[in-house]
């Protein structure tokens, strides 16, 4: 991991996202690009061009001043290599999601860290800018709230729908786990078996998943990974939510796929979890 993108609107949740960016960048010896985009609302063809220019310059200066303050805070911190964390800032006139998505290939972004507002507004936020980034970004996106507790990642849960297909995609999570020496638990929920045939099928699947996980342990030289396969009479989303409440991991990971399972889990379990347990960051990988 070389480059982290930190979009900001300078609110408190963005300050919290900056704290997480510092923590991860310090461990990874990565640089942080802080970006802010703005749109001049309320303008039309009747506004004189010189007034438009003045409005743009005023907004641009305000944006750059605040971005420089962020960069100064970040660069005061040291990476593992003993050097100050490298920073860069970008201020542009554009819609936030569009600018974030354009910067990803431009700057070879490895991770986006976004702050989301307080719990009562999570559903609304995840339906707008955040969801557009989730759908279109080609790199992992970490979401944190203002109330998220900054603590080392010691236990990470990755909830996978299709273990065989999705497990190889969690390399970014293994990388983070290795950085923080965290335990990585792969969670897979099956429906409650209706008969012995279903039970045997689930057991065979679990054995295959264990073999695949062992291969990844050897491939990435990281043995601190376990598999938690469980059955639920309720919905998968409710079971995942129950595991989160009981185990309180330091990070929840989902693999983004345009499938019904992800939609149900994201909109039901994760939203509810964020509303009641806002201190746990959420990482979306593709």
pLDDT at 256: 77
Q: Which domains does the chain show, CATH number per domain?
A: 3-145 (3.40.50.620), 155-281 (3.40.50.620)
Provide the phi-psi class of 192: left if phi over 0, else alpha when psi is between -120 and 50, else beta: beta
pLDDT digits (tens, 9 = 90+) for 123-139: 544 456 777 787 788 89
pLDDT digits (tens, 9 = 90+) for 227-236: 988 776 666 6
Backbone phi, psi, residue 159, to 5°: -95, 115
At 86, list the tokens: 């490298």
* Average pLDDT, integer, range 44-69: 82
pLDDT at 146: 82
The structure's pTM equals 0.86
Euclidean distance between CA atoms 242 and 56, whole angstroms: 49
Q: 163 with 135: CB under 8 angstroms?
A: no
pLDDT at 275: 47
């Amino acid at each position: 991991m070389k480059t982290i993108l930190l979009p900001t609107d300078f609110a408190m949740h963005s300050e919290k996202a900056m704290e997480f960016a510092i923590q991860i960048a310090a461990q990874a010896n990565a640089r942080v690009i802080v970006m802010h985009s703005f749109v001049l609302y309320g303008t039309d063809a009747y506004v004189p061009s010189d007034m438009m220019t003045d409005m743009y310059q005023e907004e641009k200066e305000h944006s750059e001043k605040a971005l420089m303050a962020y960069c100064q805070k970040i660069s005061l911190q040291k990476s593992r290599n003993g050097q100050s964390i490298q920073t860069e800032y970008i201020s542009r006139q554009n819609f936030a999601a569009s600018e974030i998505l354009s910067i990803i290939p431009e700057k070879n972004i490895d991770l986006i860290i976004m702050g989301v507002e307080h719990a009562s507004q999570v559903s609304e936020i995840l339906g707008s800018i955040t969801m557009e980034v989730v759908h279109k970004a080609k790199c992992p996106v970490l979401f944190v709230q203002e109330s998220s507790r900054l603590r080392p990642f010691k236990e990470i849960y990755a909830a996978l729908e299709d273990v065989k297909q999705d497990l190889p995609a969690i390399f970014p999570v293994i990388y983070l786990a290795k950085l923080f020496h965290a335990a990585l638990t792969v969670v897979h929920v099956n429906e409650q078996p209706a008969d012995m045939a279903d039970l045997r099928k689930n057991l065979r699947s679990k054995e295959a998943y264990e073999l695949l996980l062992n291969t990844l342990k050897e491939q990435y030289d990281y043995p601190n990974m376990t598999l938690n396969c469980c059955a639920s009479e309720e919905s998968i989303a409710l079971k995942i939510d129950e595991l989160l409440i009981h185990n309180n991991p330091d990070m929840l990971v989902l693999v983004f796929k345009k499938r019904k399972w992800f939609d149900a889990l994201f909109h039901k379990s994760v939203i509810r979890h964020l509303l009641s347990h806002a201190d746990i960051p959420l990482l979306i990988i593709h």
